[in-house]
Amino acid sequence: MAVATELKALDFMMFARASEGLTHVRGIAVSFAAMVLGGAFLLLGFYFAASGGALGRMMLFICWAIYAAVAGTGISATGILLLDRARAVPPRALADALVYGFICFLKSCVIALALLAAALAVALVAVIIYFICKIPGVGPILLFFTHPVMILVAGMLAFLTSIFTALATPALWDGDSVTQAIAKTIAILKRRAVAAVIDLLIMAAVTGVILGIIGAIVVPGYFSMTGIAFSVIGSKLGVDPSMLTSLPMAMAVLLSGGQSGHLYAMMLDTAVLLMLCIATALQVQLMGINLVYLGISEGIDTAEAERMLKRQLDQAKAKAEEARQRALIAAERAKAAAQQARSPAPALPPTAVNECPGCKSKTAPEDAFCENCGQRLR
């Protein structure tokens, strides 16, 4: 009954509004610029990595980080601009969208790390189970039962991660903190999980249809014009392998430098055209996600979810603090034991020795008579 109620609440006009992203010029420009700039840093990183060595790998990592920051900021800024359009409110300035987009990118990294931790936990459990499955005899039987379960767990985790990300990201664009975005997403999945999944799947299908339309326009034109270019330009499109080691800064020279210049020009314009198509289709997807978020989060009370999340975080912090205290106590005990093992053994007190007044032989304090001469001692 609850599922039927959710299905009746679906607003199919919302999916038609996703196509408004195609007319959002500023969003297309921001996404395209982010892809081009990030791609430039990525190519630079690959160039440094080709030189080999630790420095090359370090530069590749730095360029990857810059690429992620630039691309993430551009996508977040585009999502923020499209969220204003979905709400039919005056759009904010581009500079404000970029600054807040970078902040949202940093917040999304926190959520991504939490999801990565969950994935690593599942992977660790799988490694332990499969290691146990190596035991002869019982191992194959255990593998027979556990392997399908782990497949379903991994698949469900991947599916829920995509749904969770699609709902939590617009919440960040809407101004929520990381905790609020997580709590709101949990509340949505608890109350309207079926509607959220169906809306997102339909929106993905709409994006796929629009991407197919873009491809139907670009692909025939690309192959026809590329064929004419090869027939007219001819041998000037040949490849000179020695040019592949040139610095990226020399690309402008290559574009006007004869044989290899024509080839590089065609490669670059193909990449630019592909990024432009992706940026255009991305507007539809981001607009659709914003519309789904606005529709599915309306009337959701996140107070209980926030209290539950805060309680769980407090419990996790308390357990972590308890574990830290236990570790400190154990370390202090180990340190004391080590110091005690290194310290010299205490010297035994000297034993008192008396003499017999008659024969001067040694006697014990508890002796009443001398064992040598029989002299009375006390």
pLDDT (tens digit per residue) in 150-165:
999 999 999 999 999 9
Give the list of residues 6+ apart from residue 119 with CB closer than 8 angstroms, or none. 157, 161
- Kindly state whether residue 378 falls inside one of the protein's structural domains: no
45: pLDDT strictly greater than 80: yes
- Kindly state whether residue 367 falls inside one of the protein's structural domains: no
pTM: 0.69
What is the rounded average pLDDT for all residues in the chain? Answer: 79
CA distance 266 to 238: 11
CA distance 215 to 287: 20
- Kindly state whether residue 156 falls inside one of the protein's structural domains: yes
- Kindly state whether residue 354 falls inside one of the protein's structural domains: no
- Kindly state whether residue 340 falls inside one of the protein's structural domains: no
Per residue in 93-118, pLDDT (tens digit) is 889 999 999 999 999 999 999 999 99
- Kindly state whether residue 89 falls inside one of the protein's structural domains: yes
- Kindly state whether residue 356 falls inside one of the protein's structural domains: no
User: Of 44-58, 285-299, 328-342, which gets the smallest average pLDDT?
Assistant: 328-342
297: pLDDT strictly greater than 70: yes
The token duo for 251 is 């690309």
Residue 271: what pLDDT? 85
Amino acid present at 116: L
Residue 122: what pLDDT? 92
3-class SS of residue 376: strand
Residue pair 189/161 in contact by the 8 Å Cβ criterion: no
Give the list of residues 6+ apart from residue 273 with CB closer than 8 angstroms, or none. 218, 222
Residue 244: what pLDDT? 40
Domain residues for the domain of 271 are 12-240+254-300
- Kindly state whether residue 248 falls inside one of the protein's structural domains: no
Total domain count, the chain? 1
CA distances from 268 to 14, 205, 265, 275 (A): 37, 30, 5, 11
